Structures are given as C-alpha cells and as structure tokens.
Amino acid sequence: MKIDNITNMHESHPFVRKQNQEFELMELPYSTQALEPQMSRETVELHHGKHQQTYVTNMNKFIAGSDYENMNLRDIVKNSYEKDRGVFNNAAQNLNHIIFWNGMSPDKVDMPPAVSEALESAFGSVDSAKEKFIDLGLKQFGSGWVWLVKKDGGLDIVNTPNGVNPIVWGQEPLLGADVWEHAYYVDFRNDRKTYLETFWDELANWDYVKLQLVQA
Ligand code: FE2
C-alpha cells in the first residue's frame, strides 16, 4: 500500500495501527527547528505537538469500541467520510498531517526530472503547476488543504475544505499544503500566498513526491 512507503522512507511512526493498540502521534522526520528559517520551531512544535496530537487523541476516542478500531488509517478515513463526522475529521486530519510533514525537507530538494516532466505534461510547465497550486490554496476559503494528486492516471491540483483528504474521491495525494491558519500564522501572519510560495519553492520534498508518483 502506497502510504506505507512514507514509513519506510522516513521511519516515522507506523500509522497502520497494531491490533489492540491506540494510534500514536507520528514522529517528525526531522527536528522541530530543522525547517527554519522558512518554518519556525514554534510553528512546528505547536502544529505537530498540539494540533496533530489533538487529532490523534480524539481519533482514538472516537474509534474506541467501533468497527473502525481494527482498520488502518486510510481505511478509517475512506469508510467514515460523510458517515461519521467525528471519526472522519480527526482521522483525516491525522493522515493529512502525516503527508504534510513528510512532504517537506529541511534541505532544499531539486525537482527530479520524473516530477518536472509529469508536471509539464499535466499543466504545460512547472511554473503553471506552481501557479495553480498557489491559486487553489488561496481560493480555499477558510480552513483546508491544497494538493498535488494523481487522478485517472494523470496529475491534478485540487483543494479540499477542512479535513478532507483526496483519497475519499479516489485520488492519491502526492504533496499537500495545510492552509489552516495554524500552519502559517506565526511565521507569515495573514500572508498565505508567501507561505504557499515558500512551501513550493523551498520546503517541498520533491524526492518524496517522486516516490509517491511512482508508487501511487
Ligand atoms: Fe494543520
């Protein structure tokens, strides 16, 4: 299963839960200050240690004693969508953040040809893809996400409200940027555009995207 590759790649916490154990907060694949100066230690500590931890804690409470208890995280997200709001919101947000953290790198990663060629083929140019990613991130009113996804054999860029992950629509996320204010307000205040540009230009882990592209 594609998502397991994140674990293999970064040795972060396995989010395919072992039976009869609760989900735990993933370990970050880098230190909390590693993304500075683009993303501060304060932001990462709050975002990972408080926000994501809350999703994990709430998800464990919601799935306790239910049919979801023995599912892996992806299946919980897919099965609870539009059925069990509490389960879905927290499980999806946990999955979203796992993708978010693994999609960034402390060291700038050059885009491998496999990724740039796929972007050129889908969007005309890498710059057009970036423009669309930022535009849809800005157009997501309120809280949500913007994603580069694999869809119908090609690539697309989509935004989602609140905690929705594109896997519920049969799309595989290759990269996701959190546009909830907690993701950028400490470092960028209300400037979501600069945050998204920084994410794409300086933080995105294109080697991770390549791995997802090949295996999605
Ligand atoms: Fe977040």
User: Residue 124 carries which side chain, given as an amino acid letter?
Assistant: G
Q: What is the pLDDT of residue 11?
A: 37
Ligand 1 centre distance from Cα of residue 182 (Å): 6
Helices (H), the chain: 4-10, 41-44, 53-63, 73-80, 85-102, 113-123, 126-139, 181-188, 192-198, 206-215
Q: Which CATH class is domain 113-215?
A: alpha beta
pLDDT in tens, 72-106: 888 899 999 999 999 999 999 999 999 999 999 99
Token pair of 30, please? 């880098």
pLDDT score of 7 more than 60? no
Calculate Rg over the CA atoms of the chain.
Answer: 16
Contact present, 77 and 90 (Cβ < 8 Å): no
Ligand 1 centre distance from Cα of residue 103 (Å): 13
pLDDT score of 15 more than 90? no
Ligand 1 centre distance from Cα of residue 154 (Å): 27
Can you state the angle between helices 85-102 and 53-63, rounded to 10 degrees?
140
Contact present, 213 and 150 (Cβ < 8 Å): yes
Averaged pLDDT, 49-63: 95
Q: What is the pLDDT of residue 71?
A: 84
pLDDT in tens, 192-205: 999 999 999 999 99
Ligand 1 centre distance from Cα of residue 206 (Å): 20
pLDDT band of 214, cuts 50, 70, 90:
confident
* Domain boundaries of the chain, sorted by first residue: 113-215
pLDDT in tens, 156-181: 999 999 999 999 999 999 999 999 99
How high does pLDDT run on average in the chain? Answer: 90
Q: In the chain, what percentage of residues exceed pLDDT 90? A: 80
pLDDT score of 9 more than 60? no
Dihedral pair phi/psi, residue 52, rounded to 5°? -65, -40
Averaged pLDDT, 112-136: 98
Q: What is the pLDDT of residue 5?
A: 43
Q: What is the pLDDT of residue 180?
A: 97
Q: What is the rounded distance in angstroms from the CA atom of residue 201 to the CA atom of residue 216?
A: 23
- HEC readout, 48-87: HHHHHHHHHHHHHHHHCCCHHHHCCHHHHHHHHCCCCHHH
Whole-prediction pTM? 0.92
Q: What is the pLDDT of residue 20?
A: 59
Ligand 1 centre distance from Cα of residue 121 (Å): 30
